[in-house]
Structure 1
Amino acid sequence: MKHFYALIMAVLLSFSGFSQIKYESFSSQKLNESRQIKIQLPRNYEENTGKRYPVVIVLDGDYLFEPVAGMVDYYAYWEDIPEMIVVGVNQDGIRTEDTAYGDENSLPAGKGAKFFEFIGMELLAQLDQKYRTANFRIIIGHDFTSNFINFYLLKKDPIFQGYINLSPDLAPDMASHITYALKTTESKKWFYMATGSDDIPVLRKDILSFDNQLKTIDNKLVTYHFDDFKNETHYSLVGKAIPSAIASMFEIYRPISTKDYNEVLLQTSISPTKYLVEKYSSIEELYGLKRKVSINDFLAVYRAIEKTRNWEQYKDLYKLAYDHYPRTMLGPFFEARYEEETGNPRKAMKIYQNAYGQEKIAFLDTDYMLAKADAIKKDFGY
């Protein structure tokens, strides 16, 4: 089984090779030294000049960057998550100093305080200046660095919205600090934590206790996800946790699932088109990303309308299709179906015919649209 996961990670790492990887040396005034940074830019970053991208900061970048970057590239390719800029901070040999905290209050101290300012005040500022970043940020860490990433959550206005904790080595007061911060937050936060059955015993004990605290949080602005992987060690759990964490933070971004189709779109008391509009409004509100409605989601609503025979829903759907995919056959097809099923077959026939010359999309092409027009003509003798 471990060989299987190793193979999967190898595939993901090779997959990420299609994205742009940069290696930079960052001179930090806060640290009074240079740091090695790895940056993965999304595919076609240079071509999509009007597009902005969320940022993922990966601590322990010397070994965590590649699996995170590979998984982000893989999920983004299938449009399950947005394309993102992934930034790894190498800490080989100095991670203990970088994550130092005080004994009295468990907050960053010494080199840890300087590293805290380096990330929050220097690195992110330069990324925002140099690249087209969106105002949605995730930070990832493992054991010591996992504990460290949560210091940003304790600030009044946290600069990160998502926190991925891989087997955190929690400071004495950190569990209480985080629980309070999540209970009282007034802005949307995503918090992920993972351990494994074969994790380091002392860490696992504290993590399970912390999980029990977090489960009591009653704040609709907090999305919390916890994984306890069977037969996984402190290091092997990382391979499972990264995709689980990323998926949990972008659940609403993903295309409409079979579950959503069956449990939401097929319910006649719910407008499938309104559900679609609200889904994409939520994506913009949560992630600061204005996204074009995917063909997959349009077709899911189309199938639901056909299944429930709720023909009136086509009226709003075809208007939405004209907005998102002008000059294609999608809008005309939905409009023709609306007219066809609401008593205007002649008008539907003309719309099908007039789609000639529009761009093909999904299963819709000239032959299909003309065949639909011919079928109406034959049925009604026009």
Structure 2
Amino acid sequence: MKRILLSLALAISFLGLNAQVTQEIFESFKLQERRNIQYYIPEDYDPGKKYPLVVVLDGEYLFDLVVANSKFYSKFQGMPETIILGVGQQPDNLRWDDCAFDERNGLPGEKGPQFYEFLGMEVIPFLETSYSTAPFKIFVGYDITANFGNYFLFKDKSMFNAYISISPFLAPEMASRVPERLNVLQQQIYYHLIVPTGRGDNWNATMQLDRGLKSLDKENIQYFFDEYKDADDTSVITYGLGKAWDRTFGIFKPITTQEYKTQILTSEEPVFDYLQKKYDKIESLFGFQKQVELNDIMAIYAACRKKDDFESLNPLAELCKKAFPDTMLG
């Protein structure tokens, strides 16, 4: 565990975490109070590009970890850069007031509806109007703040496209309500449940939630469950974030050797169709076009020759002319 924390600390230092982080006090009409927020904007931010928005509760603890993961995966794994909002919930342990629930029915507690509107109607729109954000949004929460994220599933359309729920402290009935709600939603949702091995009533509720989510048979719902036996309630955060990030943005990666062998070479469809569908899905899911990777062009070209699919070379050549007009490929 010490080795993991040391490695993460070095990564944060190496990636220059504070280079584009802004901290400010946000005057909330909904909450009738001032709240601490911080947000990370990529160093090479371009208003002409679109950036997925990540909303992180428990900002004092989780924000730096999420930023470090985003920077690492965008720099070394070919995943998109993101804009990240961290919502402070200290001092005075505000998280329990913000995210409290009624013990009888599991609905948000006295302050919960106002905090819900603060996020959805004030601070998120503030970033959306200030910066070039993509439609794709991710929610990250831990313990009771992870439970709070589930309430955003119950709008007509979920505000978030991906949920990273770390060791959630579930409200009554939430273990059954989340699967029921996801079963009727039609939009693409990524739901990550990250837990340490545990016991007790909340562990039983977590396992009930896991069973309910695993029972769903819907192409638009991507559910991932990660249990870490060597983790405790806090160290599980460092174990699970990277894997959740990798899965959420996995389609963004350049074509890998394994992908080439197991999906492209084994497909009965024209080789070029694989590339077309990959980039169409990226645009549909994230709300912006991705520049075609040279790696992907070469992988498709190699597959065309390997499978004698010479018909796919024509659209591939046209794509090269558009994507790389100033190179030999164009």
Length-normalised TM-score, structure 2? 0.94
Q: CA deviation at 1:161?
A: 1.2
Indicate if the aligned counterparts of 1:40 and 1:87 stay in contact, CA closer than 8 A: yes
* Counterpart Cα distance in 2 of 1:152 and 1:276: 33
Q: Which amino acid aligns with 1:122?
A: E
Tell whether 2:51 aligns with 1:53: yes
Q: Which amino acid aligns with 1:138?
A: I
> How many residues end up aligned between the 2 structures?
327
CA displacement, residues 132-157 of structure 1 (integer Å, 9 cap, x when unaligned) = 11111111100100000111111112
Aligned to 1:353: none
Contact 2:56 2:85 in 1 (8 A): yes
Q: 2:41 maps to which residue?
A: 41
After TM superposition, give the deviation of residue 80 of structure 1 in Å.
3.4
State how far apart, in whole Å, the 1-side matches of 2:177 and 2:96 are.
Answer: 21
Shift of 1:89: 0.6
Q: Does 1:218 align with 2:217?
A: yes
CA–CA separation in structure 2 for the residues paired with 1:42 and 1:200: 40
Give the distance between the partners of 2:229 and 2:303, measured in 1 at CA.
38
In the aligned structure 1, how far is the partner of 2:207 from the partner of 2:159?
27
Letter of the 1:284 partner, please give it.
E
Alignment of 1:316-335 (within 5 A): 316-331=315-330
Instruction: Compute the displacement of 1:114 (Å).
Output: 1.2
What CA distance in whole angstroms lies between the structure 1 residues aligned with 2:209 and 2:47? 43
Deviation at 1:201, TM superposition (A): 4.5
Structure-2 change in CA distance of 1:246 and 1:268 (3 Å): closer
RCO higher in 1 or 2 (8 Å CA, sep ≥ 6)?
2
Give the aligned partner of residue 295 of structure 1: 294
Letter in 2 for 1:207: T
1:158 and 2:166 are equivalent in the alignment: no
CA distance in 2, matches of 1:196, 1:187: 29
Distance 2:309 2:120 in 1: 51
CA distance in 2, matches of 1:156, 1:187: 11
Judged with a 3 Å threshold, the aligned counterparts in structure 2 of structure 1 residues 98 and 268 are, in CA distance, closer, same or farther, namely: closer
1:229 corresponding residue in structure 2 = 228
State whether residues 21 and 39 of structure 1, in contact with CA within 8 Å, keep that contact through their aligned partners in structure 2: yes
Measure the CA separation in 1 of the matches of 2:126 and 2:222: 29
The secondary structure found in structure 1 opposite 2:215 is coil
Determine if contact 1:195/1:204 at 8 Å carries over to the other structure: no
**Which letter maps to 1:204?**
W
The 2-side partners of 1:138 and 1:120 are apart by 13
Matches within 5 A, 1:1-382: 2-17=1-16, 19-45=19-45, 48-92=46-90, 93-197=93-197, 199=198, 201-267=200-266, 269-331=268-330
Q: CA deviation at 1:79?
A: 4.8
Q: CA separation of 1:268/1:31 partners in 2, compared to 1, >3 Å: closer, same or farther?
A: closer
8 Å Cα contact 1:20-1:43 kept in structure 2: yes
**1:70 shift after superposition:** 0.5
Q: Which letter does structure 2 place at the counterpart of 1:292?
A: Q
Per-residue deviation, 1:202 = 4.1
CA contact (8 A) 2:143 2:169 kept: yes
Aligned equivalents of 1:78, 1:297: Cα separation in 2:
16
Distance across 2 between alignment mates of 1:13 and 1:203? 33
Distance 1:299 1:10 in 2: 37
* TM-score (ref. length: structure 1): 0.82
Equivalent residue number for residue 366 of structure 1: none
Deviations along 1:331-380, one digit per CA (max 9) or x if unpaired, are 3xxxxxxxxxxxxxxxxxxxxxxxxxxxxxxxxxxxxxxxxxxxxxxxxx
The sequence identity of aligned pairs, in percent, is 35
RMSD: 1.6
Name structure 2 gaps, 5 residues minimum: none
Would you say the 8 A contact 2:175–2:208 is kept in 1? no
1:230 Cα offset (Å): 2.5
Seen in structure 2, the aligned counterparts of structure 1 residues 16 and 29 have a Cα distance that, compared at 3 Å, is farther
Question: CA offset at residue 193 of structure 1?
Answer: 0.4
Give the unaligned 5+ runs of structure 1. Answer: 332-382
Do the aligned residues in 2 keep the contact of 1:134 with 1:289 (CA within 8 Å)? yes
Residue aligned with 2:119, SS: helix
1:264, 1:270 within 8 Å by CA — same for their partners in 2? no
Decide whether the 8 Å contact of 1:105 with 1:173 is kept in 2.
yes
Q: Is the 8 A contact 2:196 2:229 kept in 1?
A: yes
Secondary structure of 2:229's match?
Answer: strand
Q: Distance in 1 between matches of 2:188 and 2:70?
A: 21
How many Å apart are 1:309 and its aligned residue?
4.0
Equivalent residue number for residue 375 of structure 1 = none
Give the 3 Å change call, closer, same or farther, for CA 17–254 of structure 1 in structure 2.
same
The range that moved more, 72-81 or 82-91, is 72-81
Question: CA-to-partner distance for each residue in 1:98-142, whole Å, 9 max, x for gaps?
Answer: 111223321112112211111011111111111111111111100
